[in-house]
A and B are shown apart, each in its own frame.
Chain A
C-alpha cells in the first residue's frame, strides 16, 4: 500500500539551513505537500509541489522533488527558533485523500 517515511528528529542551530527529507511510494501522486504543526495546534499548509516539477521556491522554503527516487525534501534557509515544530510530508492519492508521514520534529537551538 501507499507509505510515506520521514526521519523523526532534526536539530539545527539558529541561522543554519534545515533539510527535512521524505520518501513516498505512490508514483501516481499528483501533488506532494509539506505541513507544519506547532504544539497544541492543527496542521498548517506550508507549500506543495506538483508532481511534474523538480523544484519550488517560496521565500525561505525550497522544495526538491526527485520522482525517480520518490524523494521529497524541504529546505528552510536561515532557520529561526520560530521554525521549531513538527513537519509533515504528505502525498495525494485518489480523490483528494492524503497519506502522511510520521512527522519530523525540528528543534532549533539559539
Chain B
C-alpha cells in the first residue's frame, strides 16, 4: 500500500497563477484533510472532507478550493497564488475510530 501520496513534491509559482496540489490515498479512509505548515506556527487546517461529495472549511480556507469526487482523491486548488501561500502543504487521511491522521510527504510551494 502506498498510503497517502502527494504531487508535486516541489512547485514554484508566480503571483496570480493557479495550480492544483494532488492528494491520493489507498487506505479507504472516508475523512481527508489539507494542512499548511509555516515556521513557528505548526500545522493549520485548510479544508476537510468527511466523504465523497462533502467538504468543509478549516482554520485558514481563504484562497483555496477543494472538491471530493471520489474516496481516493482530494485535490487542493489555488485559484490565484499569493506570496502568503508560500508554505509546505500536507494532505492527511483520518482513521475514524481514533481520529488518527496519516500524512503524505508534503508539497513545498513557493510563490514569487
Contacts and interface: CB of A to CB of B under 8 A. Distances in A.
Contacts of B101: 33, 43, 45, 90, 96, 98
B42 A8 contact: no
B100 A88 contact: no
A7 to B, nearest CB: 12
Central interface residue in B40, B41, B58, B99, by most chain A CB within 10 Å: B99
Given A30-B99, A43-B103, A98 B45 contact: yes
Contacts, number: 61
Interface string A69-110: 000000000000000000010101001111111110000000
Chain A interface size band reads: 20 to 34
Chain B interface size band reads: 20 to 34
Interface of B: 31, 33, 35, 40-45, 48, 50, 58, 90, 92, 94, 96, 98-106
Interface of A: 4, 8, 30-31, 33, 35, 41-45, 48, 88, 90, 92, 95-103
